[in-house]
Amino acid sequence: MIELEDVVFRYDGAKINAIHNVSLTIESNEWVAILGQNGSGKSTLGRLINGLFIPTSGSVKVDGYETIQESSLWEVRRRVGMVFQNPEHQFVATTVRDDLAFGLENRGIERAEMVARIEKYSKQIGIEHLLDKEPHRLSGGQKQRVAIAGIIALEPEFVIFDEATSMLDPIGRQEVLQTMKELHNHGVSIVSITHDMQEAIYANRVIVLKDGQVLKDGSPRQVFQSHDWIKEAGLSVPFSLTLQQELAKQGVMLKQQCLTNEELVNALWISNLTK
């Protein structure tokens, strides 16, 4: 598991903390969405979990390994992979196949195992037809899936997606979101750092940050039960909930809270049938 205890982080030269007294635990097999507007501290939190940043005070532990201990960082990063906003920053080779092999070579994985992992995870992520392509010639969604495959091939326990869909068009965003769902179904624990409310509703748990502190923590249904905090956090209400509110104003009352468009369509269908 990942454990943060009274974590404080301040950037060099800053007058205020980017993260202020955050304590939380993320269990294996969870899909946690960390929500917040720009400057809320969500990306900083992701880098603290991965050991890229070291807390100013407090502790971050991954399976008992504390990031402040330099000797533990290898074990921390072996367990926690990270997919960044711009996939091109993670490409180092001229073909997708060589790019997937790069991280495995750095880990000292034997060639036979390396070949097997490239075949296995390229199929799992759906990029086996791209292995001999140049990464920079791919679409945005394809590039991000290649970056994900490169991380998953290292077989981490947790994968942090740091605004991984924010630079993509709607089709690319759906491709990456579907990949995240499939990874979670395969037992990979996911931490999704985002300001996209539609992305967050697919998580098991939502943590909302504001000014470096936890504003909300619960299941999507619990967190989105009230909308008052959403403006306070500088976020927008998910489309399905906005439409449900507008329908209620017109006298169309639905029996349940609809987080996704699919739930909304089904609720409207049932409501119409029962009239």
Question: Which ranges constitute the DSSP H helices of 67-110?
Answer: 73-79, 96-106
Q: Which pLDDT score, from 0 to 100, does residue 158 have?
A: 93
CATH of domain 2-236: 3.40.50.300
Evaluate whether 18 touches 9 at the Cβ level (below 8 Å). yes
Whole-number average pLDDT of the chain: 87
pLDDT score recorded for residue 271: 66
The parts of the chain modelled with pLDDT lower than 70 are: 271-275
Where exactly are the structural domains of the chain? 2-236, 238-275
Quote the pLDDT of residue 275.
55
pTM: 0.83
Q: How far apart are CA 114 and CA 110, in angstroms?
A: 6
Q: Is 184 within 8 Å of 217 (Cβ atoms)? A: no
For residue 167, what pLDDT is reported?
A: 75
pLDDT of residue 80: 93
How many whole angstroms separate alpha carbon 68 and alpha carbon 248? Answer: 51
